[in-house]
Amino acid sequence: MNKLIPAIFVGAAFSAAPVAHGTERVTFAVGEGRFSIPVPDGYCVPDGSDRELLDLTASGDKQNITPVSLIRCERRNHPDGIGFDYVLIKAPRKVLAARIDRAEFLKMMAPEMGKADWQDHQGQEILGGVSKDMSDALGSDISVTGSIGPHGVDSDCAYLGGTLEVETITGKRSILVGGCMTTTGEKIMTVNTYAAADTPGGVARQMRRAHDLAMQIRPAP
| pLDDT of 123 above 80 | no
132 pLDDT tier (thresholds 50, 70, 90): low
Tell me which residue range forms the domain holding 179.
Answer: 4-219
Of the two residues 63 and 1, the one the predictor is more confident about is 63
Quote the mean pLDDT of the chain.
80
Q: Which of 20-24, 32-36, 107-111, 126-130 has the highest mean pLDDT?
A: 32-36
DSSP, res 139: T
The count of domains in the chain is 1
Q: Is 150 exposed, middle or buried (0-12, 13-18, 19+ CB in 10 A)?
A: buried
| pLDDT of 185 above 90 | yes
Of the two residues 24 and 31, the one the predictor is more confident about is 31
Q: 61-98 pLDDT, tens per residue?
A: 888 999 999 988 988 888 777 777 889 999 999 999 99
pTM of the model: 0.80
| pLDDT of 158 above 60 | yes
DSSP, res 18: P
Could you give the C-alpha distances from 120 to 89, 94, 124, 144, 210, in angstroms and in order?
24, 23, 6, 14, 24
**H helices present in 60-186, as ranges:** 102-113, 121-138
Contacts of 125 (CB under 8 A, 6+ apart): none
